[in-house]
Amino acid sequence: MTNKPLSDMRKAVILCAGPGTRLRPLTQCCPKVMLPFNGKPLLEHHLNWLESHDIKEIYINLHHLPDVVTGYFGDGSQFEVQITYSFEEKLRGTAGALNGFRACLDETFLVHYGDVYSELDVTKMLRFHRRMNATATLVVHPTDRPHDSDIVVLDKYARVISVHHKPGSSRYGNLGNAACYILEPRILSYIPDEEDEFDFIQDVFPQMISAGEALYGYYTNEFLQDMGTTDRYQKLKRRLESR
């Protein structure tokens, strides 16, 4: 990772509300973002990663066992960030989660899914986002699990022409959605200001593509790994602990 600061992107939303059903019994008494890697929770790795890119305004949505997260991280000051929380009594979905912070998302911001460990160079991605004058930039990478991935289809200019919610299929190629986006505030106009569940891949991005918005795919081979199942959690844990 780079330590070059991002002077013009200060905000990130980390999606942490998922109940971690596929990780039970590990998540019975522990939110999945609090599962440990090298002696600290996954969410702490996220904060360290973002802070290294000078992203210090962090917005976290919570649902399952929220006190475990807030009790550990507090306001974020001991991790050199500022954390704002939103509690979802009913899950709002990946895009609906932004409604908890709508008034604060008034400039370019990053969205990262909490169950994905990342070593992405956000500085480099932001340069791409600016160069393409994108409304939304989606991180994409090759996947050998299209049946268990959201698939993104790009044209030769890296513009997103379609997205396909999992279970995907090799008929749409092998570019998986890596669950990290850089977004402009105008994306909020595609998200209803209500409590209903709303999803980026199923609801927001298809609408934006139809409207002719500038969505681009940022292709990378950098290390990003989801840990949404017990097998993947153990695999990621072994990899990080062997370093």
Determine contact, residues 6/109, Cβ cutoff 8 Å.
no
Q: State how far the alpha carbon of 22 is from the alpha carbons of 18, 95, 135, 169, 218, in Å.
A: 10, 21, 33, 21, 28
Q: State how far the alpha carbon of 57 is from the alpha carbons of 13, 131, 179, in Å.
A: 9, 24, 19
Dihedral (C-alpha) 122, 106, 10, 43: value to the nearest 10 degrees? -70
pLDDT along the chain (243 residues), means of 10: 59 91 77 89 95 95 94 95 95 96 96 95 95 97 80 96 80 89 97 89 97 97 88 88 79
The confidence score (pLDDT) of residue 195 equals 77
Q: If you count them, how many residues does the chain have?
A: 243
Determine contact, residues 71/39, Cβ cutoff 8 Å.
no
The confidence score (pLDDT) of residue 144 equals 77
Comparing CA positions, the residue from 108, 109, 92 lying closest to residue 100 is 92
Three-class DSSP category at 53: coil
Q: For the chain, list the domains and their CATH numbers.
A: 11-241 (3.90.550.10)
The confidence score (pLDDT) of residue 3 equals 46
Q: Does pTM top 0.75 for this prediction?
A: yes
